[in-house]
Amino acid sequence: MNYSFKRLWNRAFLFVGPAWFLLVWIIWSSGQLITVADKITFIGIVIPGFLIVYSTGFFIEGWHEKKKRGRS
């Protein structure tokens, strides 16, 4: 692998981020979220979900590196 995991992961999210935003915008503007509570719940799940998925990659990388060091 020519690049570090962090660089590849960040690059992947540069492509995934706009697609994720487009999906959120489509759902937001579809009229399915009628009440303010619906909108708050939706945003309260979508934003933390994106951040959790993003940060999980770094957790997995750290776990993998630790596992590799244990084998050596």
What's the pLDDT at 23?
93
CA 33 to each of CA 40, 44, 46, 49: distance values in angstroms, whole numbers, following the listed order: 9, 13, 13, 18
Distance of alpha carbon 57 from alpha carbon 35, whole angstroms:
34
How confident is the model over 28-52, as pLDDT tens digits?
999 999 999 999 999 999 999 999 9
Distance of alpha carbon 50 from alpha carbon 44, whole angstroms:
11
Q: What is the pTM of this model?
A: 0.71
Distance of alpha carbon 50 from alpha carbon 22, whole angstroms:
13
3-state SS, residue 35:
coil
